[in-house]
Amino acid sequence: MRLSARIVLALLAVVILGAAGCQSAPPKAPTADTGAMTAALDSLNQAFAAAVAARDTDKVVGMYAADAHILPANAPRADGPDAIRALWKGFMAMPGMELVPTSNAPIMTEAGDMIIDIGSYTMKMMDAKGKPMQDVGKYVTIFKKVGGEWKIVVDTFNSDAPAPMPAK
């Protein structure tokens, strides 16, 4: 009888110690240098705006990954460099086109390999009659580290203005 009491106590001790070992570990501290990521995002947005202002389609397209996607409002999606180039060529052909992106709420991944840039933009242009127009809207751009460089992998934007009504 004494032997079985020892076995029960030993099994009980194993169960208690095993349960104590199953407690979750404290949360891991983020490994990403968010300060460096924020500085990189600021630099990327400045380079993007400068390339658009210079009408440098090659530089703009070069900021996108080879497998990137643009999802513009009221237009077909653009997948890959050729479609992205065509889309940006069209934008840059608009007379007086100016684009100013403003990052409002970037999200950095803990791994430090992606930045989700949530922001707003102001775009100015001239209409077909040369009258100045302005659009204000919002965007989400996802940057990913590709070969050690930040590249845009997904870009979407839309106006804050209501969609135009169809002509009757």
* Domain that includes residue 67, residue range: 33-159
Say if 22 falls within a structural domain.
Answer: no
Dist. CA 88–CA 66, nearest whole Å:
15
Dist. CA 30–CA 36, nearest whole Å:
13
- Tell me the pLDDT of the chain (168 aa) as tens digits: 455 655 645 555 554 555 555 566 666 655 789 999 999 999 999 999 999 999 999 999 999 999 999 999 989 999 999 999 999 999 999 999 999 999 999 999 999 999 999 999 999 999 889 999 999 999 999 999 999 999 999 999 999 998 777 777
Say if 11 falls within a structural domain.
Answer: no
Instruction: Report the candidate in 130, 137, 127 with the shortest Cα–Cα distance to residue 159.
Output: 137
Say if 164 falls within a structural domain.
Answer: no
Say if 16 falls within a structural domain.
Answer: no
Say if 110 falls within a structural domain.
Answer: yes
- Taking the model in full, what pTM does it have? 0.79
Say if 47 falls within a structural domain.
Answer: yes
**Which sign, positive or negative, has the C-alpha torsion 73, 74, 80, 86?**
negative
Say if 94 falls within a structural domain.
Answer: yes
- CATH assignment at residue 131: 3.10.450.50
Say if 18 falls within a structural domain.
Answer: no
**Number of independent structural domains in the chain:** 1
